[in-house]
Structure 1
Amino acid sequence: MIEMKKVGKTYPNGVQALKDINIHIDKEEFVYVVGPSGAGKTSIIKLIIREVVPTEGTIHVNGTNLGDLTKKQIPYLRRKIGVVFQDFKLFPKLSVFENIAFALEVTEEPPDRIKPRVMEVLDLVKLKNKTRHKPRELSGGEQQRVAMARAVVNRPAILIADEPTGNLDPETAWSIMGTLEDINHRGTTVVMATHNSHIVNHLKKRVIAIDDGNVLRDEWRGAYSYEA
């Protein structure tokens, strides 16, 4: 599903973000990527979605060598990868329905299939009663659930969640985690970068700990830190 072999990443400013990363993530796994700010978590996400390319090593996603992709092929890769960001990245002038439908429209989904699919994912995130609302009319948790619905509306094989609970209160964060687990149980691989030690320690999943560009630990049912 996702395989990184001997991956290193050095940016043009000379910062070495990742060093000799070897990771294999199977279909339908739920994986936390943890570590302090600047550890390399965001670089791993950018590499998986081909926003940046590695300086060394190879990356395969869904059987595709990302190093072989042309610029025209990258959007097709990203249709198979949903991404949820900490700051939601919703279109402020579009309604909830329109924000989600947009992800289908850009892939040229037939119009008669768009509404049923949008309503299906809105039901998944429990927001069917908010279709006409604009993002400013929603709570932070509701905006994050809209972002999650948009990320999975194209039925991606992989969902990348970059600090999805970072701006949310604890109760709302647990609600978001419940939705992510539901998405995972439906067959989507979930890779979640997070600083939330309480969630990681309570919802035992695989934990990949990154620090200073290196993989320190890769544990099944792991904890956030050695002390947890």
Structure 2
Amino acid sequence: MIEMVNVSKVYKNGVTAVNKLSVKIEQGEFVYIVGPSGAGKSTFIKMLYREEKASEGSIKIGKFDLMKIKEREVPMLRRYVGVVFQDFKLLPKLTVYENIAYAMEVVEKTPKQIEKRVFEVLDLVKLKHKARMFPTELSGGEQQRIAIARAIVNMPGILIADEPTGNLDPDTSLEIMDILDEINSQGTTILMATHNSQIVNDIKHRVLAVENGRIVRDQQEGEYGYEI
């Protein structure tokens, strides 16, 4: 579960990116985060995996209290909160298998555990046959699927997807959404920041609309609600 109460983030230059924001997201939900550029969506997301620290308020994610968490505990939080980025962030000199395995090596899983789980997530994203290839040998959609596999390999309770279809064509975007829906059906909470109105309008989930650092709309089975 995610609970934010009266959360604000003021940057050193005086800009208030998030302003007294409160929201609760239950385990297993799929939530879109929408809003115009500069609305505070990115800051909102970054606070959830402690890329940014809130200036005030309360943020609780599972057993973690993000206002009290120590720096040495942040890696533990990030095992519970997986993140998928728009630009994939794959390591170019590692194979597909090695990119995913690396996420398990840092948490000291055994080679046998790693091999079993890596091929499980590759099967989920339908790219088991590309395990020995390098990121540069993959299409954009395939790279995003590998990025998703890496983000879920340690079985996080929450998956944050920041514009995961932003660089992809419509058909590939739908393939990514199928994968995210499958992950969600297995119990993982998904938060997806997006400007893709067609996906939000066609594949219905809860919608949080952020403007001026606040949630201005919270709709179950909501619409995108902005002109593109």
**TM bucket by the smaller chain?**
over 0.9
Where 1:215 maps in the other structure, the secondary structure is: strand
Count of equivalent residues: 228
**1:68 and 1:172 mapped to 2: Cα distance?**
40
Shift in CA distance, 227/13, structure 1 to aligned 2, threshold 3 Å? closer
Aligned 1:42-57 pairs, distance under 5 A: 42-57=42-57
**2:129 and 2:226 mapped to 1: Cα distance?**
43
Aligned 1:73-222 pairs, distance under 5 A: 73-222=73-222
Deviations 1:19-48 (A, max 9, x none): 110110000000000011111111011100
**Match for 2:60: what amino acid?**
H
**Match for 1:209: what amino acid?**
A
Where 1:102 maps in the other structure, the secondary structure is: helix
Aligned-pair CA distance for 1:63? 2.9
**Match for 2:68: what amino acid?**
D
Where 1:210 maps in the other structure, the secondary structure is: strand
Deviations 1:43-94 (A, max 9, x none): 0111000111111101000032111111111101111111000000000000
Cα RMSD (Å) of the superposition? 1.1
Aligned-pair CA distance for 1:110? 1.4
**1:179 and 1:38 mapped to 2: Cα distance?**
28
- Which residue is equivalent to 2:25? 25
5+ residue gaps in structure 2?
none
Deviations 1:118-165 (A, max 9, x none): 000000000000001000000000000000000000000000000000
5+ residue gaps in structure 1?
none
Q: Is the 8 A contact 2:161 2:192 kept in 1?
A: yes
**Match for 1:218: what amino acid?**
D
Shift in CA distance, 219/113, structure 1 to aligned 2, threshold 3 Å? same
- Which residue is equivalent to 1:225? 225
**2:177 and 2:131 mapped to 1: Cα distance?**
22
**Match for 1:223: what amino acid?**
E
**2:37 and 2:227 mapped to 1: Cα distance?**
18
**Match for 2:74: what amino acid?**
I
**1:164 and 1:227 mapped to 2: Cα distance?**
20
TM-score by length of 2: 0.98
